Every structure is written in C-alpha cells, then in structure tokens.
A and B are shown apart, each in its own frame.
Chain A
C-alpha cells in the first residue's frame, strides 16, 4: 500500500522567506501528484497537479517538483506572506486513478 509522508508536520517562518515543503511516497508507480491547501474549517483547494512526465509545475509564487525515482516531491513557496498560512497536503493516486492517498500535511505559519 502506498504511504505518503510529509515532514515537518509544522513549520513557522518570517514573512518574505522562501520555503520548501516536502512530500515522500513509497510506491513510485504514480502518474501524478497533487498539492492542496487547507484553511481551518474549510475544504481542500487544489494548488498544483504535476504529471509523472513532468519534473516541475508552476503557479504564481508556487513551484512543485516531482522526482519519481526517489519518491519525492517538493512545494516551493517564494516570498511567503501571512496569507500563505495554512496546512499543505500532497496526494497521489493509485495507477487506476480511483483511489488517492494523502499525506498528513504540513501546517505552515508565516509570521508578519
């Protein structure tokens, strides 16, 4: 069974700092990986979906990378802002695409 791990569980940084969130997975037979953001009391919002054939995907200040061979993905956030404070989760699908495995998330706090 696929296991998805996110370390650290919590991260606190000063505003303006660039930061990297990590996601590791045990089974490299994935065809995409998604990064989500979850605000307190809210659902998950899809940030980036990176295909297995891609190495990077960018949206604004966010950049996600994927290295299937090492079972790792990173989410890079440039010039962090207090509004970036949230929990960030990664998820990978089974090859059939009908089940998803989520990491337990990294809780990010950006201090003004």
Chain B
C-alpha cells in the first residue's frame, strides 16, 4: 500500500531532550516536507526537500533540523525542544510539480 509513515504517533518529552520524528514513504517521491499544525494558525511548512541531499527552509524552520540521506526517509530532528514546539506534525511527499501531496497520519508532540 502506498503510504507515508510517521513515527511515533504520540510523543511527550521534556525541554532540551533531543528527539527525532521519522518519516518514510514508499512511493519513490522526490519531494518531501514537514509541517506543523496549530489551532488558529493552520498548517505551516517547516522544511522541505526536493531530492536526496537537497533540503531547504520553509516558513518556520527555527529549532528544527532535517536530513535527506535516502530518497524514502526524511527525519525531523529537534535538538533542544521547547514548549512552543508542542504541536501536531505532519510529513508529506509527492512527485513534485502538479502531483498531489500525500500525508502521514501525524505525530502529536508535547514538550513540558
């Protein structure tokens, strides 16, 4: 089944403890992206990648890192999480251009 898989689905952590949210897609998509969704603010793009070893900042990249060493994987790294990073995170992928975006089921992160 074609899908975007994120793990974990739920994560509770403490301020400053490094964490990684994984994202994997099995559709051979070149384009991958991370979003955060907050009430009243909607979906905002954190980082995106057009292909392996090519990443760029979205609208809200502060406090996040990404890497794209393999085409199928695009992990999101929070080196020192803070409470304002408490949010619902989504990974998405597509062939780029005029093709539909496919989303994972989300990771709900709480930083205390």
Contacts and interface: CB of A to CB of B under 8 A. Distances in A.
Contacts of B58: 99
B106 A43 contact: yes
> How would you classify the secondary structure of chain A's contact residues: helix, strand, loop or mixed?
strand
Contact of B101 (A41, A91, A103): A91
Contact of A102 (B43, B98, B105): B43
Given A89-B43, A99-B48, A104-B40, A46 B101 contact: yes
Interface string A41-83: 1111110010100000000000000000000000000000000
Contact of A100 (B45, B50, B97, B98): B45
A32 interface: yes
Interface residues of A, number: 22
Contact of A32 (B44, B50, B56, B98): B98
Contacts of B103: 36, 43-45
Interface string B84-112: 00000010100011111111111000000
A42 B97 CA distance: 25
Nearest to A97: B97
A41 B98 contact: no
Interface of B: 4, 31, 33, 35, 40-45, 48, 50, 56, 58-59, 90, 92, 96-106
Interface of A: 31-32, 34, 36, 41-46, 49, 51, 89, 91, 97-100, 102-105
